[in-house]
Amino acid sequence: MWNKDKTDPNTPETSESEKEEAKTGFMSRLKKTLNTEIRLTPRKEITDADIQDTSTTEDTPKVGFFTRLKRGLNRTRQTFTNGLRHLRIGSQGLNAESLEDVETLLLSADVGIEATLLLTEKLQERAKKTGINDSETLIDALQEDMEDLLAPVAQPLQIPEKSDKPFVILMIGMNGAGKTTTIGKLAKRFQAEGRSVMLAAGDTFRAAAVEQLKAWGEHNDVPVIAQQTGADSASVIFDALSAATARGIDVLIADTAGRLHTQDNLMAELEKVKRVMAKQDPDAPHETMLILDASIGQNALNQAKQFHQNIGLNGISVTKLDGTAKGGILFAVAKETGLPIRFIGVGEGVDDLRVFEHNAFVHALLDRDDEAA
Ligand SMILES: Nc1nc2c(ncn2[C@@H]2O[C@H](COP(=O)(O)OP(=O)(O)O)[C@@H](O)[C@H]2O)c(=O)[nH]1
Ligand SMILES: [Mg+2]
């Protein structure tokens, strides 16, 4: 575990922020944080059933997670799977018209053109070979093809058990995508796995962002390296990496300000962040993770492509699957980028983050009873 002793000679200067931290006190910072749009606690509509499901520890029954995932995907399932169930399949089996209906349903769930074409072509082949005469057979067939499509990108984040250097995760993405929230969720998860975690408040654009991370870190006993608003993001993250290395931290997660791939100056800033980190550890960041908001639909696909082209991504996590009927975006991203999908966010609560598992995802989406493949 990390050494929180501030007199540790190896601890780098975070003096401005630390002085301020001492002045303002935890309660007032927490209050400020609660006034921002960002929430790391479950919302009130969470029921008793959810509470049983909120643990991230190993001994939680898998069915709890699955129920939660299913609930999270409610809106996509409603438009998509219910549509499939009510699809009229002619007495001659799947015909051009019903295929077109499937196509429309896939597109309306934001599965995207390429993935939709692939899936409907496969359906057509199956219809020719073995016949598809009812909606259950149709859903079974789609399930298999959808799982095949997602299987290559279901590559969970692997953090080495033993390393003398921190594993560094750099979070990037547009404003409001869920970077900071996901950092909180991940920090909790890693701690539950017995790893020590440190956070770097690399979003130096807004005071609220730094405050949010600091208050969260204090509340959860996770050290946060921060400087004042407006500081150079690369220097905050550089300091954090030396602090994490000195303290023998297992995982350092760096927050960054929201940006779009079209903002050249901000993209250059990210490159600088990566460059300065590499000076300390040529392998850092070990994971450049793009956070994608599922509810923005096809724009998410575009962002994934552009960020990967400009910065180079190791993985993607998709948030807000619970609040959208556009959950099909994962298929589009999988088909068109092939980038590993690490985690999915299905709620605002700290435990609403799942490792992306393609079988469970497709089962939940298609309203299958359990996640057994
Ligand atoms: N419903 C839902 N909301 C989320 C999820 N992830 C993040 N959010 C919310 O999205 C908003 C923006 O999140 P934030 O982490 O501040 O985004 P950032 O600007 O990328 O750091 C907050 O209100 C979060 O609670 C999710 O998986 N589901
Ligand atoms: Mg943020």
What is the distance of C-alpha 369 from the center of its chain? Answer: 25
- List pLDDT tens digits, range 90-121: 777 888 888 999 999 999 999 999 999 999 99
Contact status, residue 143 vs residue 362, Cβ threshold 8 Å: yes
The environment of the single-atom ion ligand 2, i.e. residues with CB closer than 5 A, is 179-180, 209
C-alpha separations of 72 from 25, 39, 75, 178, 372 in Å: 36, 17, 8, 16, 18
C-alpha separations of 258 from 204, 262, 273 in Å: 10, 12, 14
Global confidence as pTM? 0.83
User: To test ligand 1's pocket by mutation, which of 185, 348, 351 has the most ligand atoms within 8 angstroms of CB?
Assistant: 348
State the pLDDT at residue 119.
97
What single letter denotes the amino acid at residue 194? G
Tokens 């000679």, residue located: 9
State the pLDDT at residue 341.
98
**Half-sphere exposure at residue 95, Cβ-oriented, CA atoms within 13 angstroms:** 7
State the pLDDT at residue 369.
67
Please say whether the dihedral angle defined by the alpha carbons of residues 130, 132, 134 and 135, taken in this order, is positive or negative: positive
**Residues 365, 79: Cα–Cα separation, whole Å:** 10
Q: Is the CB of 37 inside a 6 Å radius of any atom of ligand 1?
A: yes
Six token digits for residue 152: 């290559």
Nearest CA to ligand 1 atom 3: 348
Nearest atom of ligand 1 to the alpha carbon of 344: 27
Rounded distance from Cα 61 to ligand 2 centre (Å): 32
State the pLDDT at residue 283.
96
- 251-254 and 224-225 strand pairing: unpaired
Ligand nearest to the CA of 182: 1
Nearest CA to ligand 1 atom 14: 178
- Sheet strands (E) in 193-332: 197-200, 224-225, 251-254, 287-293, 315-319
- List pLDDT tens digits, range 220-270: 899 999 998 889 999 999 999 999 999 999 999 999 999 998 999 999 999
Give the mean pLDDT per block of 10 residues along the chain (373 residues): 38 45 42 37 36 39 71 87 84 85 93 96 93 90 96 97 93 96 96 96 90 89 93 96 97 96 92 96 97 94 96 97 91 98 93 93 84 46
State the pLDDT at residue 65.
74
User: To test ligand 1's pocket by mutation, which of 33, 35, 38 has the most ligand atoms within 8 angstroms of CB?
Assistant: 38
State the pLDDT at residue 370.
58
Nearest atom of ligand 1 to the alpha carbon of 323: 1
State the pLDDT at residue 195.
96
